[in-house]
Copies of this chain bind each other. A is one copy, B any other.
Amino acid sequence: MSSPRNSPSPSTSSYENAPTRSVSVHGEKFAYRELGPEDGVPLILLIHLAGVLDNWDPRVVDGLAARRRIIAFDNRGVGGSSGSTPDTIESMARDAVLFIRALGFDEVDLFGLSMGGFIAQVIVAQEPHLVRKVILAGTGPAGGPGIDKVPALSIQATLKGALTRQDPKLSLFFTESADSQRAGRAFLERLKERTHNRDKDISLPSFRAQLKAIKKWGRQVPSDLSGIRQPVLVANGENDRMVPSQNTRDLAARLPRGELVPLYPDAGHGGIFQCHDEFVPRALEFLES
């Protein structure tokens, strides 16, 4: 059981209305949003490449917040967080730990999506006493196949998206099928539900620093995951073209207490958003078991 040293935040009914707060970490301001019950082990959300607070699907956050205390935050130098964005996953993990401790927590659950999942793996390996349970989605281990291609793929999709005035997440997070594309457009609409106090978009230098960090992670020597004793729930779509789905299976197999959610059919990197109806109860069950 963990409780913050700071004064408790008033509980908020939905992510759409959650105020954006900040906490000082070594002189830098870290932006975050909090909602859900005020007690219990908080679930810290670790976002994907280029993501800010507004990139979390409100259905997923609200679904989890119905029963868990949820805290989403911006990485250093991204969105509402000040400072300059580091270009290694290790450094992002150190930031996340400092942020968690700055809020006064000594035990948390982690939910890392894509790059956030890389960060979560480093946190749990380096600060095992801080972490109770982990959820990894659309992610892979250091050195996992195809991860070093994420930067080139992301730049390509971003340029293409700019030329065709389409959000690159449609092609990066969803499959080409009509169903998945429809789900993608619905997801993009949900991301717009919050209309006030939206977060700042990522800057180009921060985006580049993250791309560099991801490339290094993809080229890193595979780490030994056998020392991770926490329960880890691993989820993804079966057709992830960013962090190939094979990485998800590989994580589940190599983590001693890894638990694989059957890969979502006709879904990609954004599988947990596309299939939020299935993912949310499964994640809650995992966190509460």
Contacts and interface: CB of A to CB of B under 8 A. Distances in A.
Size bracket of the A interface: 10 to 19
Contacts of A168: 162
Contacts of A160: 203-204
A163 interface: yes
B163 A159 contact: no
A7 interface: no
Contacts of A204: 156, 159-160, 163
Contacts of A158: 158-159, 162-163
A188 to B, nearest CB: 12
A164 B201 contact: yes
Nearest to A200: B164
B159 A207 contact: yes
Contacts of A203: 160, 163
Interface string A47-60: 00010000000000
A253 interface: no
A125 interface: no
Interface of A: 50, 155-156, 158-165, 168, 201-204, 207
Q: Which 7 A-B pairs have the closest CB atoms?
A: A162-B162, A160-B204, A158-B162, A164-B201, A163-B201, A163-B202, A158-B159
